[in-house]
Amino acid sequence: MSRQSPLALSLRHLTLVVISFAMLVPFYWVIKTAITNENIYAYPPGILPRDPHLFNFVDVWYLIPFPRYLLNSIIVSAIAVIGNVVFNAMAGYALTRQFTGRRAVLALFLSCMLIPFQATIIPAYLITAKMGLLNTYFGLAFPMLSTIVCIFVFKAAFEAVPKSLIDAARIDGLTEWRIIVRVLLPLSKPAIATNVILTFIWSWNNFLWPLLITRDPNMQTLPLGLARFLSYMEDTTGALYAFAVMVLAPSILVFLMAQKEFIRGLTSGATKG
Partner 1 sequence: MSGHGGWWGRRRNRQLALIVCFLLPSLIVFFLYRLLPLGWNVILSFQAWSPLKPAVWIGLEHYAEMWTYDDTFWIALKNTLIFIAASPLAIAAALGVALLVNSDLKGATVYRTIVFLSYPLMAVAVGIIWRWMYDERGGIINFALRSSGLIAKPIGFLQDFSWALPSVIVAEVWQMIGFYMIILLTGLQSIPQNLYEAARIDGAPAVARFFRITLPMLRPSLFLCVVVGILNSFSSFDLVYIMTNGGPGHATELLITHIYKSAFEQTKFDYAAALTVVQFALLLLLTVAANKGAGGNAGAVERD
**Least separation, in Å, of the C-beta of 148 and partner 1?**
7
Instruction: Return the number of the residue (187 or 233) whose C-beta is nearest partner 1.
Output: 233
29-48 residues in contact with partner 1 (CB under 8 A) are 29-30, 33, 40-45
Which of 5, 48, 97, 132 is close enough to bind partner 1 by CB under 8 A? Answer: 97
Report if residue 123 touches partner 1, rule: CB under 8 A: yes
> Would you give the binding string for partner 1 spanning residues 126-155, x where CB under 8 A is met?
xx--------------xx-xx-x--x----
> Would you give the binding string for partner 1 spanning residues 149-188, x where CB under 8 A is met?
--x------------------------x------------
Residue closest to 122 by CA, chosen among 208, 43, 36, 231? 208
Report if residue 256 touches partner 1, rule: CB under 8 A: yes
**Least separation, in Å, of the C-beta of 189 and partner 1?**
20
Which of 58, 63, 181, 266 is close enough to bind partner 1 by CB under 8 A? Answer: 266
**Least separation, in Å, of the C-beta of 251 and partner 1?**
5
Decide: residue 34, CB within 10 A, 0-12 exposed, 13-18 middle, 19+ buried.
buried
Report if residue 27 touches partner 1, rule: CB under 8 A: yes
Which of 82, 121, 166, 174 is close enough to bind partner 1 by CB under 8 A? Answer: 121
Instruction: Return the number of the residue (165 or 252) whose C-beta is nearest partner 1.
Output: 252
